[in-house]
Amino acid sequence: MASVFKNLSFSSSIIPYFVPIFFSCFFIVSHSEYLSNTTSFPSITTKNTNVSDGGEWVLLHKSIGVSAMHMQLLINDRVIIFDRTDMGPSNLSLPDGTACRQYIAHNRTVNDCTAHSLLYDLATDTFRPLFVASEFWCSSGALEPNGTLVQTGGYGDIGIRKIRTFSPCNDGSCQWIELPEKLSDNRWYASNQILPDGRVIVVGGRRAFSYEFYPKKNDKWFYFRFLAETNDQGEENNLYPFLHLLPDGNLFIFANNRSILFDYNNNRIVKELPGMPVAVKRNYPSTGSSVLLPLKMNGILSELGLPQVEILICGGAPPSAFHKAKYENVHVLASNSCGRIKLSDPDPKWVMEEMPMPRVMSDMLLLPTGDVLIINGASNGTAGWENAENPVFNPVLYRTYESDPERRFVVLKPAGIPRMYHSSAVLVPDGRVLVGGSNPHEMYNFRRAFPTDLSLEAFHPPYLAPLFASLRPSILTVETRDDTVSYGQEFSVTFVLSEYRADPGITVALVTPSFTTHSFAMNQRIVVLDVARLVRLSTSAYKITAYGPPKNTVAPPGYYLLFLVHAGTPSHGVWVRVQ
């Protein structure tokens, strides 16, 4: 691919200079040459005044009225945000005429006319309250191939088997829809993964050692012994299991401190992977986080092969940490360990690394260049009400492609707001990371050491610094057949760029919008495509032609954000449909 970029062909026709059109989409990048690396524990007083040295924090709203426990980016550049419906009134009123919710709490009837969900518009920086009838506390979600959010499970009789949908709209009319059909098993703290055929698999939940599929063809669910085996008595540590769809069509599933390759079509374990050499629990409530590192095609289309596959899991807590926090009020130090495993190796083994600080309840978000942002969380304790202390304010950048493990972690500019239990973060289309939530209490409580937080912030990664503006491509058009990126077929992107650098050149990446809650961004995925050619059209205009993903196991059907990355600087992205 590098040879393509170093031997640009020039069009004989000169087209007019294009004015950059900034589409409202998302991409994040690591400018590692401008970032300082440190192994010392950072504090909130860390001085980082230059944006390029570690990013920038911007407070968008002091209060959106709802604590952001769950977030999902939708394909029309809105973000749906919600917490739970049984904690009493929120600070966001429902519109006049909206039916109020009634429920029983502490032996009395509560009439709640406030919203517990909202739709945030990135373009206008405004939000609209949404009504929801059932309880979706600690639930899961995934986008269907048509862009509709399928949201599954929750809590209590009216939530734990519920299926809800939300279809994006631009006229303010869309609302939550509660489906009459129900899940086959209780799904509180379950995980979702979109599959190659467009179905969603829903795995696990509290005392639910099973999995099932949506759309439902019948009421069948499948017993999953692996979840029963990884359930620690009194602590669990296997809730919100980490799910990643692999290019061979199997699932990688991690629960507690064990992982397997699973054939969900035939309900069988293909391989049990070795345990991590560090004795740490990684899943809720000893909450770490997990990502499938970017899938790079590297010419595999012509070779009919599959890309290399690596998983990265970071953070968590030692055995018995939850019990000590909940019953003894002792908040033990979280883990600073990360495990990285190459599943495409014949004999996969975990390779351990150390973060600059211990972390539990942090979110790991894939950045479009392939780097990973580690954000939010605490350094002591576990997930759960009042179960953690010592918030970690500094995001950390993990540089995936850095060959020296000692140089992979970069500490970024600290936040000013603790983001503890029930906080979340999500990648958004204009290049920022939305960060919100934190309610480490049973109810909204603004008087504790770590009060319920209703604010919404944006973290600006270092690439947004003006220093890199000349390196940022601006996409003009995406030329596809029927507005679709088809598997294995060529498509082209025209763009403008002020300053082209042949080394390292330009890559084309597809990034999925993920459903983020409880430190796990479900369905998170980056596919780096094969490039066929790059043509210079004029002084600053170019056309790049790439091949769509080779198959639906590499990139499940649905909507993706397409980005061009040039010299470590991403374009604004555009939405494309892959099928």
The total number of structural domains that make up the chain: 2
Mean pLDDT of 495-516: 94
Whether the per-residue pLDDT at 22 is higher than 50: the answer is: no
Q: Which residue has the higher pLDDT, 550 or 301?
A: 550
pLDDT at residue 5, as a whole number: 33
Same domain, 571 and 525: yes
pLDDT at residue 511, as a whole number: 97
pLDDT at residue 493, as a whole number: 98
pLDDT tens digits for 325-343?
Answer: 999 999 999 999 999 999 9
Whether the per-residue pLDDT at 12 is higher than 70: the answer is: no
- When mean pLDDT is compared across 87-96, 236-245, 354-363, the lowest value belongs to 87-96
Residue 539 lies in a domain: yes
Using pLDDT thresholds of 50, 70 and 90, give the confidence band for residue 306: confident
Same domain, 433 and 319: yes
Domain end point (choices 434, 464, 494): 464
Same domain, 169 and 278: yes
**Sign of the CA dihedral 456, 156, 286, 381?**
positive
| Residues 6+ away with beta carbon under 8 Å from 426 | 71, 72, 73, 79, 365, 433, 434, 514, 516, 521
Distance, in Å, from the CA atom of 138 to the CA atom of 340, rounded to the nearest integer, reads 27
Q: pTM of this prediction? A: 0.90
Same domain, 357 and 430: yes
Share of the chain above pLDDT 90, in %: 79
Residue 403 lies in a domain: yes
Mean pLDDT of 220-236: 96
Using pLDDT thresholds of 50, 70 and 90, give the confidence band for residue 111: confident
Distance, in Å, from the CA atom of 579 to the CA atom of 569, rounded to the nearest integer, reads 27
Whether the per-residue pLDDT at 358 is higher than 90: the answer is: yes
Residue 38 lies in a domain: no
Same domain, 485 and 573: yes
Residue 24 lies in a domain: no
Same domain, 84 and 187: yes
CATH code of 433's domain: 2.130.10.80
Same domain, 208 and 122: yes
Name the token pair of 265: 């079509």
Same domain, 503 and 373: no
The reply to whether omega before 20 is within 30° of 0 (cis) is no
Domain end point (choices 464, 489, 517): 464
The reply to whether omega before 504 is within 30° of 0 (cis) is yes
Q: Which residue has the higher pLDDT, 432 or 242?
A: 242
Same domain, 490 and 446: no
Same domain, 355 and 255: yes
Residue 27 lies in a domain: no
Name the token pair of 254: 């991690």
Mean pLDDT of the chain: 89
Domain end point (choices 464, 491, 508): 464
Residue 479 lies in a domain: yes
Name the token pair of 8: 């640009």
pLDDT at residue 384, as a whole number: 97
pLDDT at residue 504, as a whole number: 84
Residue 78 lies in a domain: yes
CA dihedral 492, 494, 495, 499 (to 10 degrees): 80
Same domain, 268 and 387: yes
Structural domain boundaries, residue 409: 56-464
CATH code of 520's domain: 2.60.40.10
Same domain, 460 and 525: no
Residue 319 lies in a domain: yes
Q: Residue with structure tokens 């005429």?
A: 97
Question: Per DSSP, what are the bridge partners of residue 577?
Answer: 484, 559
Using pLDDT thresholds of 50, 70 and 90, give the confidence band for residue 21: very low
